[in-house]
Amino acid sequence: MAEQGNFNAPAVPKFDGDYDNWSLVMENLLRSKEYWSVIDPGFDDLKKLETPNATQKAALEEAKLKDLKMKNYLFQSIDKTTLKTITQKETAKQLWDSMKVKYKGSARVKRAQLQRLRRTFEVLEMKAGEGVTGYFARVMETVNDMRNCGETMNDVKIVEKILRSLTENFNYVVCSIEESKDIDALTVDELQASLLVHERKVTEKKVEEQVLQVENEPRSARGRGKWTSQRGGSSVRGRGRGRSYVNRSAINCFRCGKLGHYQFECTSLEKGANYVEFNEEEELLLMAHTNMGGVDSDGVWFLDSGCSNHMTGEKSWFNELDESFRTTVRLGNGSKMDVQGKGKIKIEVEGITQVVTDVYYIPNLTSNLLSVG
């Protein structure tokens, strides 16, 4: 017969409760095996023959053999629990008709299901951030369910639905398609191909914009900047680093979210700090305990990556000072100094007030040190 010599087991679809899909795939399989004739038109008339001739007997035996083979496929496809609910299993046609009655549903049930699917189809819209392929999959899943319930869904209706339910990112391409193409002749696959091309262009453009924004980030430039200490309203010299700026309109502040300035330049809030924040690539002036050799260190703060705490010898600079705090610190030359308090100091850096906390008060310290975090 047709299966002789074929040792590969056929891919029998398993019934999972979706009768429309199962019956469609199962019928196609049985037709490909030439067994569908035992269902339509059937062979009941051959059984009723009282004195069949040789030809009729051969046809009846062949029909019985096909019926057994078709029943074998149905038994493989239907799970044990479902089979127990079917009372008549003598022929493949009885099995098939019983499944149809149980799971295909009445006309009233199908109408109710179709009404639900129609509403789902009408309210379908592309979600923000959703891709073209994902949205088409959602639309076509609903369309196929409607078709299984008897609804006529041609490509024109689906194309029009998709075009009016895309996100604003596709407004330009929708107008282009409506003006340049005949919607009545446009298939769903052609529409999806056009939208995918547009989606790729938009994605590539976003990548280019991100690259340009990275290239426009400021690069550290060698130079000197001025620090001012809030001491009696007078400006006091300090040492720092300058920056060069490129296309500041593309800069986004991480504090307030506005364009045109960096976070350290933002004046929306008074910034609290207990360590100094600098770019890791910046070149820092690293000083420790030594006298500056004749340079007036009054009001000058030095950045020190070696000390563990901020420290100064100027008691008058403290806004808050806990003089009960006591400890000792070891300097770079191995000597120790007594700490006679800890508190807060306000420092103005390029017009921005920095509140530095946990600053040690060391009366005999000749330099003002900021510990670099």
Q: 344: which residues sit within 8 A by CB, 6+ positions away?
A: 318, 319, 320, 355, 356, 357, 359
* Mean pLDDT of the 39-63 span: 73
For the chain, where are the alpha helices, taking DSSP H only?
A: 19-32, 44-47, 54-77, 80-84, 92-103, 107-123, 132-148, 155-163, 171-180, 188-215
Q: What is the pLDDT of residue 35?
A: 83
Residue with tokens 């010898």: 313
Q: Are 303 and 327 in contact (CB under 8 A)?
A: no
Contact 360, 342 (CB under 8 A): yes
Tell me the average pLDDT across 128-147.
92
Peptide bond into 41 cis (omega under 30): yes
Structure tokens at 55: 């030809």
What integer is the mean pLDDT of 11-26?
83
* DSSP structure string for 192-241: HHHHHHHHHHHHHHHHHHHHHHHHTSPPB-------EE-BTTB-------
pLDDT reported for residue 344: 92
Rounded Cα distance between 308 and 314, Å, is 19
Query: Residue 346 contacts by C-beta under 8 Å, 6 or more apart in sequence?
Result: 230, 319, 353, 354, 355, 356
Six-digit token pair at 93?
């046609």
Residue 165 has pLDDT above 90, yes or no: yes
21-44 pLDDT tens trace: 888 888 888 888 888 888 877 766
* pTM (predicted TM-score): 0.36
First to last CA, the chain: 84
Distance between CA atoms of 93 and 82, rounded to whole angstroms? 16
Does 275 score more than 80 pLDDT? no
Which stretch, 144-153, 280-289, 300-309, has highest mean pLDDT? 144-153
Quick: pLDDT tens for 62-103: 888 888 888 888 888 888 888 888 877 778 888 888 888 877
The tokens for 216 are: 């426009």
Average pLDDT over the chain, rounded to whole?
A: 75
pLDDT at 136: 94
Length of the chain: 373
